[in-house]
Amino acid sequence: MNLNVTLEGNISIIVVDCAQLDVSNSKNFKDAMAPYVGKAANILLDLEKIEFCDSSGLGAILSSYRVLRDHGGEMRLCSMQSSVRTLFSLVRANRIFEIFNNREEALKILSA
């Protein structure tokens, strides 16, 4: 699984470079995220390329989030396509994550 990571100020922007996040690749996602969540990082997870995410994908994101939180880091999400947004709202993940419509909006608010 490819993650494209760029640094904007103190925010690590991680773009998940795949169209599906489901049972077939959720473990790969967790493994790929491991180096970034094992420290007190400020992560913005950009999901713009993800066309579909199911509960396995969601579980992998939550798992990475919990590791990051235990290290004192923070994770925010942005650029969800409609099907991913449907999933997140069904499981009320907006109670856990701060979710932004797009990267610009996220950076504007977070760096203010």
Partner 1 sequence: MRDQKINTLIIEDNENLAFLYKKSLEKDSEQLFEVSHAGSLEEGISRIASLDLSAVLLDLNLPDSRGLDTFLRIHECTPTIPVVVLSGMDDDNLALEAVKMGAIDYLVKERVDGKIIARVLRYAVERQRTEETVYKIARDVSAATGDSFFRSLALSLTRSLDLDCAYIGEFNAERSALHTLAISRNKQITNNIIFSVEGMPDERVLMESGIYSTGNAQIDYPKNMRLKELGTQFFLGVRLETNDKEPLGVLGMMDTKDRKNDLKRLQSIASMFAGRVSAEIQWKRAKTELQEAREHEINIGVKIQQALLQGKVPENIPGLQVSALSIGGEKIDGDFYEFFTYNPSCMDVFVGDVMGKGIPVALLAAGTKTEILRILGELLSAGYVNQYPGLVEILSRTQDQVAPKLISLESFITLCYARLNLQKKSLQMIDCGHTKTLHYKQKDKKSSLLEGSNMPLGFSEDDKFEIHSWPIELGDVIILYSDGVTEARNAAGDFFGEERLQKLVDENYYLHPKNLVHHILDQVVSFVPQGARFLDDLTCVVFKVVDHHLASNSRHVRYELSSDFQELLSVRRLVKAFCQSLNGVGLDEEPENQIVLACDEIFCNIIEHAYQEAKDKRIVFEMQIVDDLIQFDFVYWGERFDPKTVPAPKFDGTQDGGFGLYIVDQSMDSIEYSFDEQNVNRIILKKKIKTKK
H-helix segments, the chain: 26-37, 55-70, 82-90, 103-111
In this structure, the strands spanning 3-8 and 98-100 are unpaired
**Quick one: which of 41, 47, 58, 78 contacts partner 1 (CB under 8 A)?**
58
User: Considering the complex, what minimum distance in angstroms separates the CB of residue 7 from partner 1?
Assistant: 26
User: Considering the complex, what minimum distance in angstroms separates the CB of residue 44 from partner 1?
Assistant: 18
Helices 55-70 and 82-90, packing angle to 10 deg: 70
Contacts of 38 (CB under 8 A, 6+ apart): 67, 71
Window of 10-18, 33-41, 91-99, 102-110 that interacts with partner 1 by CB under 8 A = 91-99
Is residue 2 within the footprint of partner 1 (CB under 8 A)? no
**Which residues bind to partner 1, rule: CB under 8 A?**
20, 22-24, 52, 54-56, 58-60, 62-63, 65-66, 69, 82-83, 86-87, 90-93, 95-96
